[in-house]
Amino acid sequence: MQIKSVWDGNEAIARFTPRPYHTAVPGYVYGGLLASLIDCHGTGTASAAAYAVTGREPGTAPYLRYLTASLRVNFLKPTPLGPELVIHGRVKEMAGRKVVVEAWIEVNGETTVQGEVVAVQAPDHMIEALLNRA
Ligand X SMILES: CCCCCCCCCCCCCCCC(=O)SCCNC(=O)CCNC(=O)[C@H](O)C(C)(C)COP(=O)(O)OP(=O)(O)OC[C@H]1O[C@@H](n2cnc3c(N)ncnc32)[C@H](O)[C@@H]1OP(=O)(O)O
Q: Binding to ligand X by residue 73, rule CB under 6 A? A: no
Rounded alpha-carbon distances, angstroms, from residue 113 to 97, 118, 126: 26, 17, 29
- Is 83 buried (19+), middle (13-18) or exposed (0-12) by CB count in 10 A? middle
- Provide the minimum distance between the beta carbon of 110 and ligand X in the complex, in angstroms, as a whole number: 23
Half-sphere exposure (CA, 13 Å, Cβ side) for 63? 16
Kindly state the smallest distance separating residue 119's Cβ from ligand X, in Å: 8
Out of 52, 86, 98, 111, name the contact with ligand X by CB under 6 A: 98
The binding site for ligand X (CB under 6 A) comprises 5-7, 12, 43-44, 47-48, 58, 65, 67-70, 95-98, 118, 120, 130
